């Protein structure tokens, strides 16, 4: 079997731990196997490049208890999207001062609860959100999330989050008027931004807004550069340390006054530490003239592979038959739902000899899979997770 790891990972002996583990076992349902040592390697690699920036792991990427515990031990801080994610980080030993409540859409009672737990840093992109924070976490520090161009990312985060320049400047004033402490800005370049150079135009635009805020009398101290750090899905990416240090060079050149820099890697921290073990359920052709086979797996859009939406994230599939002749196929999940098709516009190359019962390994799937899995759609169990 040919293995395709990111260039930097290829030299890590622990990258083979996952293969050794899964080779010795059988699994009766799709299972994500996570290697905690690989998470640690990725943490150190990103930290080496990010330098003085604090890493706040984006918990949503993989909120497995043991992943969080390991990251606490390594010294990571955390970006939490909800009360449950904050509770998880606290339970696993993170200090409240190391957790930011980074979702711009928060329930008022959750803000109050977080405040009671000692959380002091909150995100906002709207006046009403600031009002909720001012009432439920009086005096808290807030950063304002800005909209940036994300079209270069493979998984853009769209206009759902953030606000424009003028709104952001007005929100800084409003936060102050509400008795809050507006400390800076955040943004997200879009998930799976494959090259560090793709950050430059967003950072250029942000630097102008940062300067405008300072000119208006705001003593900004925090720049939260969000996530976007890529994982290897088959297309070339820079190695994590090189990528992160290039991003930091771009940041330092434009924000010399930012005392505190936060980065929130999610995918780049955990994706390459996981492999999903799945199985072929059926190989078929719809007619004798059909150009492509259909290959149905026991995992699909509703059981962990949600990021195949729009065929945006193209995972790497490996089987024991990879040495056989390959041919294109439409890859689909097992549920009785016609949306449960993974790749059709750009068919996947799979061995022509593939048949029901064959094991399929889906590489670098440690991010945004386990929690995207439904609890029992069509009666299929959720993606199992095993940590080694
Ligand atoms: C606020 C915030 N920070 C960080 C991340 C992590 O992004 P990535 O997985 O691209 O590193 C996300 C992802 O949605 C996010 O919403």
- pLDDT tens for 263-320 read 999 999 999 999 999 999 999 999 988 888 999 999 999 999 999 999 989 999 999 9
The percent of residues in the chain predicted with pLDDT above 90, rounded, is 90
> DSSP code of 247?
H
Angle at 269 between CA 96 and CA 11, to 5 degrees: 140
Which CATH number applies to 36-265: 3.40.630.30, 3.40.718.10, 3.20.20.10, 3.20.20.330?
3.20.20.10
Q: What is the DSSP string of 71-82?
A: HHHHT-EEEESS
What is the structure's pLDDT at 7? 40
Give per-residue pLDDT as tens, 62-115.
Answer: 999 999 999 999 999 999 999 999 999 999 999 999 999 999 999 999 999 999
Ligand 1, atom nearest to 228 Cα: 10
How many angstroms is it from 357 CA to the middle of ligand 1? 36
Tell me the average pLDDT across 44-62.
98
Model pTM score: 0.94
> Which are the contacts of 233, defined by CB distance < 8 A and separation ≥ 6?
192, 313, 314, 315, 316, 364
Give the fold, CATH level 3, of 272-387: Lyase, Ornithine Decarboxylase; Chain A, domain 1 (2.40.37)
Per-residue pLDDT at 72: 98
Which atom of ligand 1 is closest in space to residue 153's alpha carbon?
A: 10
pLDDT attached to residue 11 = 36
User: Domains of the chain: which residue ranges?
Assistant: 36-265, 272-387
pLDDT digits (tens, 9 = 90+) for 116-152: 999 999 999 999 999 999 999 999 999 999 998 766 7
Q: Output the pLDDT for position 242.
A: 97
Residue among 264, 272, 307, 364 to mutate when testing ligand 1 (max atoms within 8 A of CB): 264
> What is the CA(190)–ligand 1 centre distance, in A?
8
Separation of CA 30 and ligand 1 centre (Å): 25
Mean pLDDT in residue range 151-162 = 76
Instruction: Look up residue 26 and give its two tokens.
Output: 């059988």
**Position 158 confidence tier, pLDDT thresholds 50, 70, 90:** low
| Mean per-residue pLDDT over the chain, rounded | 93
Tell which residue, 161, 155, 228, has the closest CA to residue 189: 228
User: Six-digit token pair at 345?
Assistant: 């516009």
Distance from Cα 24 to the centre of ligand 1, integer Å: 34
* Angle (CA) 372 377 380, round 5°: 95
Structure tokens at 66: 């043991």
- State the distance from the centre of ligand 1 to the C-alpha of 362, rounded, in angstroms: 22
What phi and psi values does residue 263 have, to the nearest 5 degrees?
-125, 145
C-alpha torsion 227→69→42→11, nearest 10:
-160
**Closest atom, ligand 1, to C-alpha of 61:** 9
Spatial distance between the Cα atoms of 142 and 133, rounded to a whole number of angstroms: 9
pLDDT at 9: 39
The bridge status of strand 77-80 relative to strand 99-101 is parallel
Task: For ligand 1, pick from 54, 60, 274 the residue to mutate: most ligand atoms within 8 Å of CB.
Answer: 60
Hunting for tokens 């069509």 — which residue is that?
378
Distance from the CA of 115 to the center of ligand 1, in angstroms?
A: 22
Do the beta carbons of residue 348 and residue 317 sit within 8 Å?
Answer: yes
Q: What is the distance between the alpha carbons of residues 34 and 227, in angstroms, rounded to a whole number?
A: 21
Question: Which of 55, 59, 61 is the best mutation target for the ligand 1 pocket, counting ligand atoms within 8 Å of the beta carbon and taking the most?
Answer: 61
Helix (H, G, I), strand (E, B) or coil at 119: coil
pLDDT value at 190 more than 60: yes
Position 155 scores a pLDDT of: 72
Helices marked H in the chain: 15-23, 36-50, 65-74, 83-91, 108-117, 127-136, 165-177, 200-215, 240-254, 267-270
Q: How confident is the model at residue 157 (pLDDT cuts 50, 70, 90)?
A: low
**Residue (of 233, 372, 231, 376) closest to 306 by Cα position:** 372
Query: Are residues 333 and 341 in contact, defined by beta-carbon separation less than 8 angstroms?
Result: yes
CA 156, CA 192: separation in Å to the nearest integer? Answer: 8
% of the chain with per-residue pLDDT over 70 = 95
Q: Is the pLDDT reported for residue 154 higher than 80?
A: no
Rounded to an integer, the average pLDDT of 235-261 is 95
Name which of 8-17, 171-180, 340-349 the model is least confident about. 8-17
Angle at 11 between CA 9 and CA 15, to 5 degrees: 55
Residues with CB under 6 A from ligand 1: 58, 61, 79, 102, 157, 188, 191, 226-229, 264-268
CA-157 nearest atom, ligand 1 = 14
Do the Cβ atoms of 356 and 281 come closer than 8 Å?
yes
| Tokens read off for 197 | 């150079």
pLDDT class of 1 with cuts at 50, 70, 90:
very low
pLDDT of residue 108: 98
Distant-in-sequence, close-in-space partners of 199: CB < 8 Å, separation ≥ 6? 189, 193, 228, 247, 250
User: What span, in angstroms and rounded, lies between the C-alpha atoms of 270 and 15?
Assistant: 13
pLDDT, residue 53, reads 98
Identify the band that residue 257 occupies on the pLDDT scale cut at 50, 70 and 90: confident
For residue 3, is pLDDT > 60? Answer: no
Mutate to test the pocket of ligand 1, among 146, 190, 191 (most ligand atoms within 8 A of CB): 191
How many C-beta atoms surround the C-beta of residue 234 within 10 A?
A: 11
């Amino acid at each position: 079997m040919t293995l395709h790891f990111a260039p930097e990972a290829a030299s890590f002996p622990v990258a083979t731990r996952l293969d050794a583990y899964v080779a010795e076992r059988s699994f009766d349902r799709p299972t994500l196997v996570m290697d905690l040592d690989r998470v640690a390697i990725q943490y150190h690699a990103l930290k080496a490049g990010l330098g003085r920036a604090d890493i706040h792991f984006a918990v949503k990427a993989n909120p497995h208890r043991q992943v969080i515990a390991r990251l606490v031990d390594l010294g990571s801080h955390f970006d939490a999207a909800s009360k449950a994610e904050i509770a998880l980080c606290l339970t696993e030993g993170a200090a409240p001062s190391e957790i930011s409540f980074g979702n711009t859409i928060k329930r008022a009672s959750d803000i109050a609860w977080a405040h009671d737990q000692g959380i002091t840093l909150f995100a906002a992109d709207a006046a009403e959100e600031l009002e909720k924070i001012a009432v439920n976490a009086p005096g808290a520090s807030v950063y304002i999330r800005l909209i940036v161009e994300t079209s270069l990312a493979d998984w853009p985060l769209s206009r759902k989050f953030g606000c424009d320049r003028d709104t952001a400047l007005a929100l800084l004033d409003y936060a102050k008027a509400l008795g809050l402490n507006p400390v800076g800005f955040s943004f997200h370049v879009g998930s799976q931004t494959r090259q560090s150079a793709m950050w430059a135009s967003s950072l250029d635009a942000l630097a102008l807004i940062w300067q405008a805020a300072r000119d208006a009398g705001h003593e900004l101290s925090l720049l939260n550069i969000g996530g976007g750090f890529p994982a290897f899905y088959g297309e070339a990416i820079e190695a994590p340390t090189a990528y992160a240090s290039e991003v930091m060079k771009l940041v330092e050149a434009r924000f010399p006054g930012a005392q505190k820099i936060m980065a929130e890697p999610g995918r780049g921290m955990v994706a390459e530490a996981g492999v999903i073990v799945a199985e072929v359920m059926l190989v078929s052709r719809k007619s004798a003239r059909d150009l492509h086979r259909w290959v149905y797996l026991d995992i699909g859009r509703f059981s962990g592979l949600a990021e195949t939406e729009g065929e945006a994230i193209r995972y790497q599939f490996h089987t024991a038959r990879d040495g056989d002749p390959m041919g294109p196929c439409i890859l689909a999940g097992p549920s009785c739902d016609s949306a449960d098709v993974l790749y059709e516009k750009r068919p996947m190359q799979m061995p022509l000899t593939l048949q029901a019962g064959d094991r399929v390994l889906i590489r670098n799937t440690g991010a945004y899979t386990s929690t995207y899995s439904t609890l029992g759609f069509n009666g299929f169990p959720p993606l199992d997770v095993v940590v080694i």
